[in-house]
Amino acid sequence: MPSKKPAGQKVDVRGNGGPSEIPDLVHRMLELLGEDPERNGLLKTPERVDKALRFMTRGYKQDLDQLLNGAMFPIDYEEMVIVRDIDFFSLCEHHMLPFFGRCHVGYLPNRKVVGLSKIPRVVDAFSRRLQVQERLTVQIAETLERKLGAHGVGVVMEARHLCMMMRGVEKQNTIAVTSEMRGVFRDQQQTRDEFLKLIRRTTESV
């Protein structure tokens, strides 16, 4: 068992128990923005924002061990497994604005694979938090590598950031790409190239 503990693995119990204070804060924020929180259209907004924020950060409460334990099974297959074009939605931690796009995951199994549907759920568990794209990419790769004991893992994420599109530089068509290569995906160019070729094919055809 590797001793290195990846960041973000702890189960967070934020928001458990007691009435939420978020609606009151949103109410006040609306006032500070020059709005009238008592007007018809905004009456329920504080509660809606509270619910939406909790939904968009629900990854804090997801237990990766619980998600993956029991979903792994032994297999003789030793070729690359790829799950590509996984849609993801996250919130940037600098502005709390959405960034979203596609994630491509590949790994080379070491006599053990995970149920394919679990990979998008790992992506989701880490996306639904306040994030930076770089750390999100590393966390997904790190978790899969550690839990699967795979020969290698590759993760590529392509995303649009609303904080870039709606404010600041206002670049509408910019896509940020991050990647994390581990094990043979990092050390063997042939493996890495195969992975990149297989994920590029769809990306270009979309």
Site residues (CB under 5 A) for Zn ion? 92, 94-95, 163
Amino acid (one-letter) located at 109: P
- 92/159 with CB nearer Zn ion: 92
**Shortest Å distance, C-beta 139 to Zn ion:** 18
Residues forming a β-bridge with 72: 114
Nearer to Zn ion by C-beta: 71 or 165?
Answer: 165
Closest CB to Zn ion among 44 and 171? 171
Nearest-CA neighbor of 119 among 84, 164, 149?
84
Catalytic residue among 31, 38, 93, 134: 93
Q: Please, which residue, 95 or 121, has the CB nearer to Zn ion? A: 95
First to last CA, the chain: 40
Q: Choosing from 9, 47, 62, 95, which is the catalytic residue?
A: 95
> Active-site residue 133, yes or no?
yes
Q: Active site includes 79?
A: no
Catalytic position from the list 31, 38, 66, 94: 94
Closest distance of CB 126 from Zn ion, Å: 17
Cβ pair 151, 183 in contact under 8 A: yes
Q: Choose, from 9, 35, 163, 188, the residue flagged as catalytic.
A: 163
Q: Look up 93 and say whether it is catalytic.
A: yes
Tokens at residue 98, please? 């959405």
Do the beta carbons of residue 127 and residue 89 sit within 8 Å?
yes
Q: Which two tokens stand for residue 57?
A: 């950060």
């297959």: which residue's tokens?
77
Q: Distance (Å, rounded) from C-alpha 198 to C-alpha 25?
A: 47
Q: Indicate if 103 belongs to the active site.
A: no
CB of 49 to Zn ion, least distance (A): 18
Counting Cα atoms < 13 Å in the Cβ hemisphere of 157 gives: 27
Nearest residue to the partner Zn ion, using Cβ: 163
| Residue 151 known to be catalytic | no
Beta carbon of residue 162, minimum distance to Zn ion (angstroms, whole number): 8
Residues that are catalytic = 92-95, 133, 161, 163
